[in-house]
Amino acid sequence: MTLTGNCQTTAMGILPHRDYQKALDLALSVDIPFWPQLPRVSYGEDMYVQAAHGFPGIRIDSEARTVAIDIEAFYLELENYIGNFENPDYFRLTPEQSLVYHAFLNQDLSSYSAIRGQLIGPVSFGLKIIDATFTPLIYHDEIRQFLFDFMAKKVSVQVEELHRIHPNAFVWVDEPGLEMVFSAYTGYPAERAAADYQEYLKNIPAPKGVHLCGNPDWSFLFNLDLDIISADFLQWGHVITRYADEFRRFLDRGGIISWGITPTLTEELEELSTAVLRKKLEEMFDYLETKKIDRLQLLRQSWLAPARCCLINLDGDDSVERSFAWLKQLSRELRSDYGLE
C-alpha cells in the first residue's frame, strides 16, 4: 500500500456525538474516513474498554467506569488466552463493543483513497490500567510482553477486517500517554519503551501509524519504524518542527505527517479563524523549508486533521462539526493553491 498525502483530510477516532448515524456521517465526510469511538453513548465505547476485552485478568466495571487488572486472575486465565492466540475471532471488536464499527464495515467505501481504524496503543493502555496496588500494568515485567503481543494481534485482526472492504486500509494507534514515558516520575523508561515498541511494530501490518496529542520526545517517534505520525500541530507544531533533521529523514523514507491543526474547543474556535490557521501552517512550512525540506514534497506527504479530540464542549457536537468544516476548507485552499490532486 502506497500512502498519498496531498493534504487529504482525516481525524482521530473519538467523537462527542450521542447519535451513531450523525457520528458516522461526519466520519465519512473526510477524505480518509474512520469508524468513530463514542464514549458519550456508553462506557463500553471508551477506547480503553474496547481494547481490553480478551486480555487475561482484565476487569471492566461499567457502573464505576473503571478498567483494572487482577494479577492473580491474569495467571488463572492465561492458559485460555494462549489457547486462543491463533483464533482471530477472540480479538475481534464485536457489535456489543462498537455498533458503529460494524456499521462502518457495512458501508460502500470504494470511492475513498484509503480507510482507517484505530486502537489505543500498548504504552498508553499499560500505563492507564492498574492493579489492586495502583501499579500500572506496564510495570509488571512478566506481563508486559503479553500486553504488546495482545495489542498487535488486535490491530492485525482489525486491519484484516478493514481490508475486506477496501484494499487501502490501515489502523493507527492512539498514544495519549506516551509523553509520560519521558517524565522523571515514570517507572517505565524511554529506553525500555523504544525496544518494546520496535518489537511491537514488527508484529503489526503496514502502514504503521501513531497518533497523539501530547508532547513526547519527538526524536523517539521519528526514529521508530513508522509510516504515519499524527500530532497536535496547533499546540505543539513549534516544538515538532524543530526536529527538522528527523522530520526530513522521516519524509525521505516515505512517511506521512498528519497535521492536527483545526481546534475543537469552543473557545479556540471563537478566537481563531481558518485564515489564522493557514498562516500558522505556512509559517511552519516556511521554517522547514529553511531546513532544506522541499515544500511540495512536504505537502504531498501531508494530511490535515483536527488538532485533538474533545468531549468537554457545552454545545455537544456542534464545535467539533465546525472544526471538521474548517478542516475541509483548509484542505481545499491548500490543494488549489499548490496544485495538489
| Burial readout 243-266 (b: 16 or more C-beta within 10 A, e: otherwise) | beebbbebbeeebbbbbbbbbbbb
- Quote the CA–CA distance of 144 and 149 in Å, as a whole number: 9
3-state secondary structure of 228: strand
Q: Can you read off the three cell numbers belonging to residue 19?
A: 447519535
Q: Domain 8-52+91-338 carries which CATH code?
A: 3.20.20.210
What pLDDT score was predicted for residue 1?
A: 64
The pLDDT score that the predictor gives to residue 273 is 97
Helix (H) or strand (E) holding 107: none
Distance, CA of 175 to CA of 86 (rounded, Å): 26
Q: Are 15 and 28 in contact (CB under 8 A)?
A: no
Q: Which three cell numbers stand for residue 295?
A: 515544500
* Residue 184 confidence (pLDDT): 65
CB within 8 Å of 126: residues ≥ 6 apart: 136, 137, 138, 144, 147, 188
Strands across the sheet with 256-262, in order? 8-9, 302-306, 256-262, 228-232, 208-212, 169-174, 115-120
- pLDDT confidence of residue 2: 78
CA–CA gap between residue 154 and residue 145 (Å, rounded): 14
- pLDDT recorded at residue 190: 86
Nearest Cα to Cα of residue 81 among 54, 104, 110, 60: 54
Say if pTM beats, i.e. exceeds, 0.85: yes
Spans of the chain below 50 pLDDT = none
Q: Is the dihedral of CA 143, 147, 149, 150 positive or negative?
A: positive
Distances (CA, A) of 285 to 116, 236, 243, 244, 274: 26, 14, 13, 11, 16
How big is the CA angle at 113 (ends 110 and 117), to the nearest 5 degrees?
Answer: 85
